[in-house]
Amino acid sequence: MRLFKVFFIVVLALLAAAFVATAFRRAYQPQPQIVQGQIEAQQYAVSSKVPGRIAAVHVSKGDTVKQGQLVFTLESPELDAKMAQAAASREAAAAMAEAVEKGARRQQVAAAENQWRQAKAAADLAEKTFVRIDSLFRDGVMAAQKRDEAQAQFTAARHGAEAAYQAYTLAVEGARQEEKEAAAARVRIAEGAEREVRALAADTTIHSPHDGEVEQLLLQAGELAPQGFPVVTLVDMDDAWAVFHVREDLLRHFPKDAKITATVPALGDKEHSFRVTRVAAMGDFATWRATDAGKGYDMRSFEIEARPLAPIAGLRAGMSVLVRP
């Protein structure tokens, strides 16, 4: 009986020693390291180049939209007024250019011709009168004063006829080439201004720039949308990747183009393959790590990105990703 007690005590001591040894071994055994990251995805902000009041938003949160699908529309009375002004300026410039190109009207040309012929007839009469008076002056019948007056009238009539003829030829020829080119340039300026306003008006109907899922609606119908303000944000989960912040002592496990295996806890224990597509050139923040009882140093972290090699069903932005180096 006493021998049995001794044996029992020895067995208990051995079991206790084994338990203590196992506990110490587990306590001091290096634990498997896990690098945790999260899923990120490409986002698109849908906005307008022109300010206005939102007439309608044609999508809702969670909707899947395709590239080119109508997302929201704006109404802008100011833009409509600018459109009317631009159209009127273009029409006015075109009318002026047409007038310059055609030159004087037929009635204006005829009037100029009549004025020239009238001035020419007066000049011919003044010339004949001067010849008669000059002949009488030579015969000593007419005074020199009368001869000088007749000569002055003839000279003035001749210059008047020349001026009338130049006005007539100008009416026939029309505007100079430089004036025609200037008028045509004014038409092009007006047309350019109208095209600019039309382009802005077209941006009051906003379409999706890419396939994606509606994540946020920042404004609703009736609210004012400033220029460039994102009204709707889209997330493209087909363009998703994982982001990790890796300590520098583990960075050797994540070289660029390396294939890594990771799990997404939200989707179960299934492993997924990723490829490292980016390793940051500069370290971010530092984590203090003791190397022994009396020393320690800051361990820098580097951001890396890894993209899945195959689509992952159910993947969402913000999900955690775990990697064991």
Rounded to whole angstroms, what are the CA distances from 317 to 42, 246, 312?
Answer: 9, 20, 12
Report the C-alpha dihedral over residues 65, 68, 69, 75, rounded to 10 degrees. 130
Residue 98 has pLDDT above 70, yes or no: no
236 pLDDT tier (thresholds 50, 70, 90): very high
Q: Of the candidates 286, 312, 280, which has an alpha carbon nearest to the alpha carbon of residue 39?
A: 312
Average pLDDT over residues 245-252: 87
Per residue in 6-55, pLDDT tens?
A: 555 655 666 666 666 565 566 555 555 788 999 999 999 999 888 888 99
Q: What are 146-174's pLDDT values in tens digits?
A: 777 767 776 776 777 677 666 656 555 55
Give the Cβ contact number of residue 93 at 10 Å: 20
What is the pTM assigned to this prediction?
0.58
Is pLDDT at 103 greater than 70 in this prediction? no
